[in-house]
Structure 1
């Protein structure tokens, strides 16, 4: 079983590409269990914890999906999560922390518990969308969730994956390419 989380829409966006990709992926792959998280500081992590606790057994892997910008059309595997919230826009309940620790007294940063560089190497030029290593999950909810997950020292590997901001006008083919790339990431992560 692979646990996949994605985020609901936020700001003025009508959809969240991570949510759409996760739901489409789950419809194609019976190993995938999806939980959609609210774009709310603190609550996203609590909802993820509750969903994990409700699983019949620990997952083999947790892939946390979040939406990056529209360009470039790249899937980014995040190597680092930092202990820092610095929201440039408010979450869906209006919180906009600036220069705030995620976990008071926690380490400054954690590395992903998956070997993201190896995954990228295995997938080089083999996926519909390029897959790259990123050294910054930002300072919004994506990084917030990744930091909490790594701080919890869960007994299974996890990594945060930023996906391009898919929109309905991009069409099904673009969504299919994203899902095919995520499926390849999963397979490479399990090697």
Structure 2
């Protein structure tokens, strides 16, 4: 059985839960239709430790694909990210109190990495089951972007495809939301599309958010 690593984050900014982990944990152990099993793991929301935790998981599990997820506050759909940039610029402290401003994720690293997932096929698949989704052109500059960049940096030149998905908040948060059951199904469909699609589809546009 091969492993598809799916990660979410622990809660941050005094929130009681993080929807990225609440959704991904429900997909732990799910079998895709060709002998690939989803393994869900939680990452710390901290610049100093998230990357090391991710690297340890990759070394331990030897996944055939890695999809990281995180909360996108204010977003109303499942946002498949296109690009990670080599900048940390935190608007709030992380869970260890660090707040890097205008620092590099990897000193001397490329300015950016693109996702190696079929991002538009994933969006198309999620929309076809009636769940809101879009391509996003920015993953921000907080720990989500850092993890996305470090993930692509670690796997560049390998056959392991990888990328990042931002998810909306859950109901009751006072901002755009998505029900947990909808979010779980949307992620499942997106992950399945990522695994089964070798060449991305041609779809018009994305959005900036």
Provide TM-score, normalisation by structure 2: 0.82
Secondary structure in structure 1 of the residue aligned to 2:139: coil
Alignment of 1:77-92 (within 5 A): 77-92=80-95
Structure 2 residue aligned with 1:25: 27
Runs of 4+ in 1 over 4 A off after TM superposition: 167-170
Matched length: 184
RMSD over equivalenced CA pairs, Å: 1.9
1:99-155 Cα shifts (integer Å, max 9, x gaps): 11111111110100112123223x263134212100100000000000011111253
1:53-84 Cα shifts (integer Å, max 9, x gaps): 112xx322111010012442x00010000000
Q: Distance in 1 between matches of 2:165 and 2:90?
A: 19
* 2:53 matches 1:50: no
Structure 1 residue aligned with 2:106: 103
Classify 1:25/1:168 alpha carbon distance in 2 versus 1 (closer, same or farther; 3 Å): farther
Secondary structure in structure 2 of the residue aligned to 1:48: helix
Structure 2, unaligned stretches of length 5 or more?
A: 32-36, 197-209
Structure 2 residue aligned with 1:63: 67
Larger helix proportion of the pair: 1
Structure 2 residue aligned with 1:189: 194
